[in-house]
Chains A and B, each alone.
Chain A
Amino acid sequence: MEQDFLLSAPITFLSIMATILMVVDALIKKSSKITFTLSWLTLGITGVLAAWTLKHNGTAFNGMITVGSFGAFFDILFCMGALLTLIAARPYMQRENLEHDEFHSLILFAVSGMMIMAHANSLLILFIGIEIMSVCFYILSGYMRSSVRSVEASLKYFLLGAFATGFLVYGMALIYGATGSFDYNQIFMAAQHELRFPSLMMIGIGLLLIGLSFKAAAFPFHQWAPDVYQGAPTVVTAFMSTAGKIAAFSAFMPIVAIVSPADTEMKIQIILAIISAATMLVGNISALTQTNIKRMLAYSSVAHAGYLMMGLVAISAHHARGVSGILYYLSAYLFMQLGAFVIVSILERSGEKNLEIEDYAGLSKRHPVLAALMTIFMLSLAGIPPFAGFFGKYYLFTAAIESGYTWLTIIAVISSIISVYFYIGLIVKMYFTEPNESGESTQQLPGIASITLAVSAVAVVFLGLMPAGLLDVIKLLFGN
């Protein structure tokens, strides 16, 4: 029992701190400084605790959650994402007059939900994790109460999210009916044998996939993402589109792994492959004609979910490279996507101004450093070496080819080429076009958000130049 508490320390510590933070909010007026300090400390300590449990590999609390290893790896990603978001959010929230005190505790609660998702070893726990995270997201996306768009985003997200959750829960119920258990290991065992109600199992899996695809914003369950990402406050979007997506995949990976033995006719695998292909095509093609930068990045994040699903296809084909490919890609994606959104948040002006791609014309002259960093993030997102995004794509594409999905890889390459148009298009806009008259002329200093940018940029370059380092860690933790 002691061991269980010790090894699940990252989750418990973070949850307790989030609760304390909420109380502090309520008791102390103007507490944002205190809560900010407490929350970044909490995230830092949680990250360290997670790193400490990284080498363990087991379950706790009667097999309800896993500890160490896989979950701990994700804990670190979540904490990193949340920490970078919090730092970048502080100047943004102050400027937008949004610094209500519960912001920090909401972020922490969202992280605790994500961590529960990543650690879940039972469908019930997974559901709890998803809901904790989602509820926080619903609130956070409507955080800009004065903005119609923000409130609309929140409501839309909530409605569609509830709709999707229904299918998710129904799927869990059917799987319980088919296998008699919520426990991952039990389901995995049951899936390997002849089931009494195979169709029940298949439909259950299908519904589960639908629910998770919604969370990952995959086609055709992605349509909420552009609206929500555009409407939500930019730093929240940064957090949702990175940590949120990582959380979705942290839940998706084990699910695909445990149900794959039941997939004797490869039907699930084919669904995953088709969703993957459609998601990246739709994401990238839609991004082409966007004029709003948040919307463009939102579609780009949809497209990246498509690439990541190639890894799921590989996992479903029992190919270990799928796991390491996704883990590497998620790590790279966290920094490049977050960095891009944070730059958007720095340049944004109250009243949702300065968010059109047109506003980025001639940025290299006004903010040479920001333009250079944005270029790095764009090149990485486009998958151009030597940045992290290139190697991420490389590993996922290799995994797909080795699993026999050459056609999927061809589509992935084609959609990558399409994506280059709008990623490079932004660079062209920043460097080779003259700023328009109405462009913002006052210099806005990024403040402490520059820490986030610096860390992200260094990570993108470092992971790209030395991909072997992270891959070695992944290999060490998960075998191959």
Chain B
Amino acid sequence: MNKSMIDLIYLVPLLPLIGFFITGLFGKKQKSEALIGGIASAAVGGAFVVTALIFMTLVGHGSEERSHIVRLFTWMQAGSFTIDVSYQVDQLSILYTLIITGIGTLIHIYSIGYMHGDKSFPRFFAYLNLFIFMMLNLVLASNFLLTFLGWEGVGLCSYLLIGFWYERKFDGSFIVWTGDAAKKAFIVNRIGDFGVLVAMFLMYNQFHTLDYTAVNAQAAAGFQPGATLITTITLLLFLGCTGKSAQIPLGVWLPDAMAGPTPVSALIHAATMVTAGIFLIARNATMFALSPTTMAVVAGIGVATALTAALVGLVQNDIKKVLAYSTVSQLGFMFIALGVGAFTAGVFHVMTHAFFKALLFLGSGSVIHGMHEEQDIQKMGGLKKYMPITYKTFFIGTLAIAGIFPFAGFFSKDEILWNAFSQGHWVLWAVAVIAAFCTAFYMFRLLYLTFGGKERFDHHHIHPHESPKTMTFPLIVLAFLSVVGGFLGIPYALSIGGSIPNLLEHWLEPIFAPAMEILRRPEVHEVHAIEYGLMAASLMIAILGILLARSYYKNASDQPQAMANRFSGIYKLLWRKWMLDEVYQYFIVDVFYTISNGFLWKIFDVKIVDGVVNGTARSIASASELLRKIQSGIAQNYAIMMMVGIVAILVWLGLGT
């Protein structure tokens, strides 16, 4: 166990890439689903094993020696501009890699059961492997450009997988086909990517490098906090984060991304890809810390998203859409953490959220599978006796996301709330608590409507059944992680006088040290009374939400409709997701369409561009005709032409000599 172990990092992205080629190239001919799914899962599983070994190696090192750059080869070179394919193996990237490959493996295994019998079975696994490869490049890269490659790559895979069932209809805002949902996700993300690109141009212009370490070190050395350039760069980067991590104003694509198969929603649109925005900020914590403005924007956007998405979640009836809004809301929590400078808390929530949200999505997939593709929770109910394992694990996941002690979500969410409060951001804290209350409410509403109460489905056509072992096994593993995951980050207040270490904070701390230095954060471990109080308060609020949901939905099956009638105004607004899609459609998409169609195409392209092009072509053609006439075929004329040339040359040479 030494340095050479760390050099094996190249295997981590390589194995899924090989898996992609095998399943992609040879999968179609192969009849055995078990073999294809096995190869794809083994590729990711192998990557997980290697990552785990590297993790052990790093644990054996001192905390200052855990950051390594593994250079593989030069990707491109032009003049002084060099970009290497090199991986930065450190605490942050290894944590992300463990999550991606670990949960990735489970979801691959789950997919073997879920996708059983699909005619494009190998294509699905090829895309999944490719996604893992791209995602690993995103988090392991040691420079912006390689991350950007992964960033775009996961966007591509997301597009391919949302539209995986491209022949199916999908009912979304201004969307008819799953392909439309895929396009929406891709295009909305392009807006964010534009921000990242411009940020990279600015950084290269300023620092002449795109290496994370160098850029952050130079930024810290060369700029005072609040410098305009750094604010611009970080805001542009954050624009990219709002796209990838589905925050206001670019978050509209995520709910429609549920058009993809459920394992995709779990892997890409809950556990991994959507947390890329958090990764990008955490990776550049130093630079973000230099800009108070950006930090305020990040926290503000985060809390606004957390609340608005949670409110939308209250009224949705599609099991996956509830979870989608819950994901958006939880990502908002992570951005709150980053915005108040609690980077560790943000990454902690990424991890716990990955556990319980993957669990919930896979659970919903199991429900959908058992209900023969039914997704409307109004048409479910009473499923717990048919699908006991799914129910139990889903229940654990719901407790975790609601923030009930001692499940994983409690610790991470509470740390975020405590950080917001202790830094003096009362408003942030208060709004986040309301969002947390809504979360508890809509999650238990979902739980009761799905598994509890009367059976509202048609018994003649639907026979709910428990899912196969390949699907329940990942559920059990993830449920276990959702229970114990939180103990990795036990807050100091609950550590019995510091005798239980906060493992995660310990692990991540050196990464964020420079950023913390800039933020000059005072240590606030002393005031435990307040912390205990806040913890109790947030726990009470969560329980309140649960009880409220219970009283409404435990047995009453007609409640969604009754609620809709009672609060018809606000209900409609929430049902239509704050009309954001409508606003975008009428003020942006339609305007663009009108300009493109009426002016850019019919006038600019047809008249001006084509006019110039055709005009040039015509004048060259007439020049050609002219030259043709000069070429008379008579030798004497040619000789005259030569003489003209000779005289011209000799006169020119003779002049002045």
Show the binding face of A for B, using Cβ within 8 Å.
155-156, 159-160, 163-164, 167, 198-199, 202-203, 205-207, 209-210, 214, 219-221, 223-224, 226-227, 265, 267-268, 271, 282, 285-289, 418, 421
- Alpha-carbon gap, A265 to B656, bound state (A): 10
Q: Is B31 an interface residue (CB 8 A)?
A: no
- Whether the pair B645, A203 counts as a contact (CB closer than 8 A) is no
Determine whether the beta carbon of A163 is less than 8 Å from that of B624: no
A289 in complex: contacting residue of B628, B635, B652, CB < 8 Å:
B628
Compute how far the CA of A271 lies from the CA of B617 in the bound complex, rounded to whole angstroms: 29
Give the complex CA separation of A163 and B641 in angstroms: 12
Asked if B653 and A282 make an inter-chain contact with CB atoms under 8 angstroms apart, the answer reads no
- B617-635 interface (Cβ within 8 A of A): 617, 620-621, 623-625, 627-628, 630-631, 633, 635
What are the 8 tightest A-B residue pairs by CB atom distance, in nearest-first order?
A: A220-B645, A223-B638, A289-B624, A288-B624, A199-B657, A206-B653, A286-B627, A202-B653
Selected from A163, A206, A287, the residue in CB contact (under 8 A) with B642 is A163
CB < 8 Å: which of A160, A163, A418 contacts B620? Answer: A418
B630: chain A residues at CB < 8 Å are 223
Given A159-B635, A163-B639, A198-B657, also A286-B644 (CB < 8 A): no
B624 pairs with A286, CB closer than 8 A: yes
Residues of B within 8 A of A156 (CB): 635, 638
Interface centre among B621, B625, B638, B654 (most CB of A within 10 A): B638
Q: From residue B612, how far is it (CB to closest CB) to chain A in Å?
A: 14
Which of chain B's residues have a CB closer than 8 A to the CB of A159?
635, 639
Q: Is B646 an interface residue (CB 8 A)?
A: yes
Taking A167-B646, A221-B642 as given, write out 12 further A-B residue pairs in contact, using a Cβ cutoff of 8 Å, ordered by the A residue number: A160-B639, A199-B657, A202-B657, A203-B653, A203-B654, A205-B653, A206-B649, A210-B646, A267-B652, A268-B653, A286-B628, A288-B624
Residue of A nearest to B626 (CB): A285
CB contacts (< 8 Å) of A226 on chain B: these are: 631
User: In the complex, which of the residues B620, B638, B642, B645 contacts A288, with contact meaning CB atoms closer than 8 Å?
Assistant: B620
A163 and B642 CA atoms in complex are apart in Å by: 9
Does A223 contact B631, Cβ atoms closer than 8 Å? Answer: yes
List which B131-183 residues lie within 8 A (CB) of chain A.
Answer: none
Known: A160-B638, A167-B646. A282 touches B627 (CB 8 A): yes
For A160, A209, A214, A285, the residue with the greatest tally of chain B CB atoms inside 10 Å of its CB is A285
Tell me if B's interface is mostly helix, strand, loop or mixed: helix
With both chains docked as a complex, state the minimum distance between the C-beta of B646 and any C-beta of chain A, in angstroms. 6
Are A286 and B620 interface neighbours, CB within 8 A? no
Q: Is B650 an interface residue (CB 8 A)?
A: yes
Q: Cβ of B654 and Cβ of A202 under 8 Å apart?
A: yes
Closest B residue by C-beta to A156: B635
Q: Mark B312-334, 1 if CB is under 8 A from A, else 0.
A: 00000000000000000000000
A207 to B650, CA, bound (A): 8
Task: Check B649–A209 contact: CB distance below 8 A.
Answer: yes
Q: Please name all residues of chain B whose beta carbon is closer than 8 Å to the beta carbon of A224 when the two chains form the complex.
A: 635, 638
Q: Is the CB of A210 within 8 A of B645?
A: yes
Name the one of A220, A265, A285 contacting B624, with C-beta atoms under 8 angstroms: A285
Report which residue of A155, A221, A288 has the largest number of chain B beta carbons within 10 angstroms of its beta carbon: A288
A285 and B620 form a contact (CB under 8 A): yes
A-B contact pairs, 18 of them (CB 8 A): A159-B639, A160-B635, A163-B642, A167-B646, A205-B653, A206-B653, A214-B642, A220-B644, A221-B645, A223-B630, A223-B641, A224-B638, A271-B653, A282-B627, A285-B627, A288-B621, A288-B624, A421-B617
When chains A and B are docked, how far (Å) is the Cα of A65 from the Cα of B247?
78
**Chain B nearest Cβ from A142, distance in angstroms:** 14
Closest-by-CB residue of A relative to B639 is A163
Residue of A nearest to B642 (CB): A221
The smallest beta-carbon distance between A214 and chain B, in angstroms, is: 7
Q: How far is the CA of A199 from the CA of B642 in the complex (A)?
A: 22
| Total residues of chain B contacting the partner, CB 8 A | 27
The A interface, classified by DSSP as helix, strand, loop or mixed, is helix
| Bound: A3/B654 CA distance, A | 44
A208 vs chain B, min Cβ distance (A): 11
Residues of chain B with a CB closer than 8 A to A286's CB = 624, 627-628, 631
List chain B residues, Cβ under 8 A from A164: 642
Minimum CB–CB distance from A222 to chain B (whole Å) comes to 9
**Which B334-391 residues have C-beta < 8 A from chain A?**
none
Q: What mask results when residues 421 to 451 of chain B are scored 1 for a CB within 8 Å of chain A, else 0?
A: 0000000000000000000000000000000
**A271 and B624 contact, CB distance less than 8 A:** no
B642 contacts across to A, CB distance below 8 A:
160, 163-164, 210, 214, 220-221, 223
Residue of A at shortest CB range from B649? A206
CA distance A136 to B511 in the complex (A): 80
Chain A residues near B650 (CB-CB < 8 A): 203, 206-207
Chain A residues contacting B633 (CB-CB under 8 Å) are 227
In the assembled complex, how far is the CB of residue A422 from the closest CB belonging to chain B, in whole angstroms?
A: 10
Chain A residue nearest in CB terms to B636: A159
Residues of A within 8 A of B631 (CB): 223, 226-227, 286
- In the complex, what's the smallest C-beta–C-beta distance from A406 to chain B, in angstroms? 19
Does A220 contact B641, Cβ atoms closer than 8 Å? Answer: yes
B653 touches A289 (CB 8 A): no
Q: Which B residue sits closest to A221, measured CB to CB?
A: B642
What is the CA–CA distance of A344 and B354 in the complex, to the nearest angstrom?
Answer: 67
Q: Which residues on the A side are within 8 Å of B625 (C-beta)?
A: 289
Are A289's CB and B649's CB within 8 A?
no
The residue in chain A whose Cβ has the minimal distance to the Cβ of B634 is A156
Q: Which residue of A lies closest to B648 (CB)?
A: A220
Instruction: State A147–B620 Cα separation when bound (angstroms).
Output: 34
A163 proximity list for chain B (CB < 8 A): 639, 642
Q: For residue B649, which residues in chain A have a CB less than 8 angstroms away from its CB?
A: 206, 209-210, 271
Central interface residue in B633, B639, B646, by most chain A CB within 10 Å:
B646
Closest residue of B by beta carbon distance from A199: B657
**Chain B nearest CB, measured from A439 CB (Å):** 26
CB distance from A202 to the nearest CB of B (A): 5
* Interchain CB contact under 8 A, B620 and A267: no
Shortest distance between the CB of B642 and any CB in chain A (Å): 5
Most A Cβ at <10 Å: residue of B620, B621, B652: B620
Question: Once bound together, how far apart are the Cα atoms of A226 and B641, in whole Å?
Answer: 15
Q: How far is the CA of A42 from the CA of B553 in the complex (A)?
A: 98
Which residues from A are CB-within-8-Å of B623? 285
* Residues on B with beta carbons closer than 8 Å to the beta carbon of A271: 649, 652-653
Chain B contacts of A202 at CB under 8 A? 653-654, 657
Contacts of B621 in A (CB 8 A): 288-289
Q: How far is the CA of A285 from the CA of B657 in the complex (A)?
A: 36
Closest chain A residue, CB of each to CB of B623: A285
Within the complex, the shortest CB–CB distance from B291 to chain A, in Å, comes to 42
Instruction: Give the distance in Å from the alpha carbon of A133 to the alpha carbon of B633 in the complex.
Output: 24
| CB of B312 to closest CB in A, whole Å | 51
Residues of A within 8 A of B656 (CB): 265
Q: Which residues of B contact A207 (CB under 8 A)?
A: 646, 650
Q: In whole Å, how far is B546's beta carbon from the nearest beta carbon of chain A?
A: 65
Chain B nearest CB from A12 CB (Å) reads 36
Contacts of A155 in B (CB 8 A): 635
Residues of B within 8 A of A418 (CB): 620
Q: Shortest CB–CB separation between residue B144 and chain A, in angstroms?
A: 29
B654 to chain A, nearest CB (A): 7
Closest approach, in angstroms, between the C-beta of A212 and any C-beta of chain B? Answer: 12
Distance (whole angstroms) from the CB of A235 to the closest CB of chain B: 23
CB-nearest residue of chain A to B627 = A286
User: How far apart are B326's CB and chain A's nearest CB, in angstroms?
Assistant: 50
Complexed CA–CA distance, A163 and B635 (Å): 11
Of residues 596 through 631 on chain B, the ones whose CB sits less than 8 Å from some CB of chain A are: 617, 620-621, 623-625, 627-628, 630-631
Q: How far is the CA of A287 from the CA of B650 in the complex (A)?
A: 29
Quote the shortest CB–CB distance from A174 to chain B (angstroms). 11
* Complex Cα–Cα for A289 and B641 (A): 21
User: Given the complex, which residues of A lie within 8 Å of B641, measured CB to CB?
Assistant: 220, 223
Residue ID in chain A nearest B650 by CB atoms:
A206
B614 to chain A, nearest CB (A): 13
A398 CB to nearest B CB, Å: 14
A169 to chain B, nearest CB (A): 14
Residue in B closest to A167 when the chains form the complex, CB atoms: B646
